[in-house]
């Protein structure tokens, strides 16, 4: 065995999980698929005093598509999205994102809620869901609340989740018929942690345009709306690496030179991809 000692609480309903989190001594973490947390525990980068296992909570497995809103329960696995078991409300974007996450054996166990809660900058869902304009649905001891991912994602490995709160799922606006998306991930090897992620979602019918840069050293970066609006109105022509680097500079983000170049390439390729065929 590799991890430091911890206590495990297996919860069978949501109330039990929340009270276990509230009563835990020391540092408690929720575990669902554990595909990001357990590797960190095996490397002892994470040493929680206790884990609350929420895999059995049916409240977190709901999936629906109503009135232009896709709802994906937090316990939905990447493989379920990859295999089309979640209704396609994003014109294939979520399916494409899911199939590039780690490896199939990891996607079979890892969950979308865990990915966002863990908030590894190199993970896919924090960037993809921010680009799609998703809202986190969160249950606390007394009330349910919602929070747009732009506010929820604070920094690397940090989200605005109170110690006794659980992510129930995500509400994601359905893309209109004439919407476009692009997603490009720079990885040295398929399934490895990303060096950069570029994501673009344009939905003219809803006047929605977002360009997001992921796999930085912090939370995914929502780039200035003017850049996404310009792409929405005049297309991808001219949005090369230099143009993407200019947008990164305009956002006030600074990286090492080689990182800026990789980020510029990821953004440019995401934008070009959104307008390809």
Cβ pair 120, 36 in contact under 8 A: yes
Q: Is 8 in the site for another protein (CB under 8 A)?
A: yes
| CB nearer to another protein: pick between 27 and 103 | 103
Quote the CA–CA distance of 3 and 38 in Å, as a whole number: 8
Q: Which residue in 1, 143, 177, 277 binds another protein (CB under 8 A)?
A: 1
- Residues 225-254 binding another protein (CB under 8 A) are none
Binding residues for another protein, total number by CB under 8 A: 31
Q: Which residue in 17, 20, 24, 31 binds another protein (CB under 8 A)?
A: 31
Supply the DSSP symbol for 74: T
- Residues 64-83 binding another protein (CB under 8 A) are 79
Q: Is 6 in the site for another protein (CB under 8 A)?
A: yes
Cβ pair 61, 85 in contact under 8 A: no
Q: Which residue in 13, 26, 27, 43 binds another protein (CB under 8 A)?
A: 43
How many residues does this entry show for the chain?
Answer: 277
Q: Are strands 135-139 and 180-186 parallel, antiparallel or unpaired?
A: unpaired
Q: Is 35 in the site for another protein (CB under 8 A)?
A: yes
Q: How many other CB atoms are found less than 10 A from the CB of residue 189?
A: 6
Look-up of token digits 């990447």? 78
| CB nearer to another protein: pick between 36 and 260 | 36
Look-up of token digits 């609480």? 9
Q: How far is the CB of 197 from another protein (least distance, A)?
A: 18
Q: Which stretch binds another protein (CB under 8 A): 11-19, 100-108, 212-220, 229-237?
A: 100-108
| CB nearer to another protein: pick between 44 and 145 | 44
- Residues 168-197 binding another protein (CB under 8 A) are 189-191
Q: Is 102 in the site for another protein (CB under 8 A)?
A: yes
Q: Which residue in 15, 26, 27, 105 binds another protein (CB under 8 A)?
A: 105
Q: Which residue in 22, 39, 140, 224 binds another protein (CB under 8 A)?
A: 39
Cβ pair 34, 114 in contact under 8 A: yes
Angle of helix 241-250 relative to helix 225-234, nearest 10 degrees, comes to 150
Give 192's contacts (C-beta < 8 A, 6+ positions apart).
none
Cβ pair 53, 10 in contact under 8 A: yes
Quote the CA–CA distance of 199 and 266 in Å, as a whole number: 8
Q: Is 106 in the site for another protein (CB under 8 A)?
A: yes
| CB nearer to another protein: pick between 43 and 160 | 43
Q: How many other CB atoms are found less than 10 A from the CB of residue 155?
A: 11
Name the site residues for another protein (rule: CB under 8 A). 1-8, 10, 31, 34-35, 38-39, 41-43, 51, 53, 55, 79, 102-106, 108-109, 189-191
């Amino acid at each position: 065995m590799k991890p430091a000692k911890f206590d495990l609480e297996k919860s069978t309903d949501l109330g039990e999980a929340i009270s276990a989190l509230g009563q835990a001594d020391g540092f408690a973490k929720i575990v669902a698929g554990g595909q990001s947390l357990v590797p960190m525990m095996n490397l002892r980068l994470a040493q929680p005093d206790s884990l609350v296992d929420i895999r059995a909570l049916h409240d977190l497995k709901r999936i629906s598509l109503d009135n232009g809103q896709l709802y994906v329960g937090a316990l939905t696995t990447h493989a379920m999205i990859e295999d089309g078991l979640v209704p396609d409300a994003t014109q294939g974007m979520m399916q494409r994102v899911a199939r590039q996450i780690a490896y199939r054996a990891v996607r079979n166990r890892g969950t979308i809620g865990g990915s966002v809660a863990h908030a590894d900058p190199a993970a896919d869902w924090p960037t993809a869901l921010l680009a799609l304009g998703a809202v986190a649905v969160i249950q606390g001891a007394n009330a349910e609340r919602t929070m747009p991912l732009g506010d929820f994602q604070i920094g690397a490995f940090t989200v605005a989740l109170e110690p006794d709160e659980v992510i129930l799922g995500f509400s994601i606006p359905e893309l209109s018929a004439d919407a476009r998306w692009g997603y490009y991930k720079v990885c040295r090897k398929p399934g490895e942690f990303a060096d950069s992620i570029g994501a673009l979602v344009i939905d003219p019918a809803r006047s929605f345009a977002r360009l997001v840069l992921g796999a930085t050293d912090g939370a995914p970066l929502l780039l200035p709306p003017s850049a996404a609006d310009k792409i929405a109105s005049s297309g991808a022509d001219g949005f090369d690496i230099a143009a993407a680097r200019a947008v990164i500079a305009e956002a006030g983000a600074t990286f090492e030179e080689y990182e800026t170049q990789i980020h510029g390439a990821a953004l440019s390729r995401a934008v070009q991809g959104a307008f390809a065929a």
